[in-house]
Amino acid sequence: MRHFANFAAIDWSGARGLRQHGIALAVARGAAPPELVRPGHVWSRAEILAWIGEAADARADMMIGFDFSTGFAFADRDAYFPGWADSPADLPALWALVEALSAADPHYEIGGFLSHAQARRHFRHRGSSVGDLFEPGAGRLRVVEHHQRATRQAASVSNFNLIGAAQVGKASLTGMRLLHRLRPRIPLWPLDPVPGTGPMMAETYTSLAARAGGLAAGRSKIRDVAALDGALAALGSPPTGLRGPLSEHAADALLTAAWLRAIASDPARWSPAPLTDRLARTEGWTFGII
């Protein structure tokens, strides 16, 4: 099993606009404390794309985690968008479809996709607007999401839901536009084999890092350095050395980078029992869920 020297974590945002206060990037290098990349900077999605591209070009010995989903539920209906003739067959084709329908949107936004007559039928939108094909209740879940709920490892929501503080649908769709561009340049676990050298990406979930750091379920947000350093200590990481206020997005990125470093050497994390080749191609998996 490969051992990475460095671990990066990206806290992501699907909001509209050029720059997002909800984006943060941190790297845990070797055994050093995790550090924010460009602390205080308000990132754009394009800048994150460029940063990952530079890591790919440099063949960085790095695992890069991001907290958006790589795909939508597929296994339950044998399709992402049942009834739509253009429903893609796998993750790369899904990313290509999102890109094609959103190509005119700036800043890697996804308005074009969500306003498409067929696509919008599958989502719960803002206000009282619910697509006629949105599954009643919580919405459709991927296999990894069913599994993490059943085993009480996490409690994520459907990516077809676009409203509420816990929704990750918009973040995932904007992220798919980046994955579409990164596909030829950097492998993504578990869609691709773990490379012998160079960087690799994986989907993560910041709440997993928070629980591993000792935070109770439902209270996973950190907003001060003392709490962050306590959670880092639980993961075997040295403290950050930071002072002053800390955004929850920065804390999420710092903690998740340290968490990836702490668990990446565990073979079980790379071979969760429910994961199949078909799921890897169509739904993906959240790293850390076993």
Q: Give the CA angle between residues 200, 12, 243 to the nearest 5°.
A: 100
Question: pLDDT tens digits, residue range 164-188?
Answer: 877 889 999 999 999 999 999 999 9
Annotate 139-159 with DSSP letters as a single string: ----HHHHHHHHTTS-----T
Domain ranges across the chain: 6-69+182-270, 91-175
Q: Is the dihedral of CA 256, 148, 13, 84 positive or negative?
A: positive
Q: How confident is the model at residue 128 (pLDDT cuts 50, 70, 90)?
A: low
* Predicted pLDDT of residue 190: 98
**Are 61 and 53 a contacting pair, CB within 8 Å?**
no
- pLDDT for position 219: 65
Residue 125's identity, in one-letter code, is H
pTM of the model: 0.96
Q: pLDDT by residue (tens digit) across 216-239?
A: 766 667 888 999 999 999 999 999
Taking all residues of the chain, what is their mean pLDDT, rounded to a whole number?
95
Asked if the model's pLDDT at residue 64 lies above 70, the reply is yes
